[in-house]
Homo-oligomer: A and B are copies of this chain.
């Protein structure tokens, strides 16, 4: 199958899985069920994924990339942060169930490096701007980005676990203030 067809199939499986998560808990959803919902034979699942964990990992990676990476360089970083939060808000049920099922590391694996990347980009931009007072070394940029990524990931997970009750704008402004403080 060509790459595009493959991507579409994966997205259909992902959609069916997210749909099942609206009604059931993570551990109670079977591959058979997901594939019946998607309109495929059970066996087809294994052409794309090893297990449910790998499917979750793929969903996080794919969708977070579509909401961060694809916009770096095109949108202002504050808008990218807003877009990311909007995505989590829309998918809060999915992420909450992933988190409480004991699969925190699946989200960490995908979210951490992408926020780290975004923060690196923010600092590179600020560092080259004319009004910059003191320059930050590359090593410092890496350590600050990593620190920021851990904090932002923690804050986003906490927000999702609390059903995104705090207003999106509040979380966004908080993350922006902290990025400004560190960079």
* Interface residues, chain A, with chain B CB atoms under 8 Å away: 101-105, 112, 143-144, 146-148, 150-155, 158, 174, 177-178, 181-182
Contact = CB atoms under 8 A, between A and B. Distances in A.
Classify the interface of chain A: helix, strand, loop or mixed: helix
Contacts of A102: 101-104
A160 to B, nearest CB: 13
A144 B155 CA distance: 12
Q: Which residue, A151, A158, A178, has most C-beta atoms of chain B within 10 A?
A: A151
A145 to B, nearest CB: 11
Nearest to A102: B102
Contact of A147 (B143, B144, B146, B155): B155
A123 to B, nearest CB: 13
Contact of A154 (B154, B177, B181, B182): B154
Given A148-B151, A150-B155, A151-B148, A174 B143 contact: yes
Contacts of A144: 178, 181
Contacts of A104: 102, 104-105
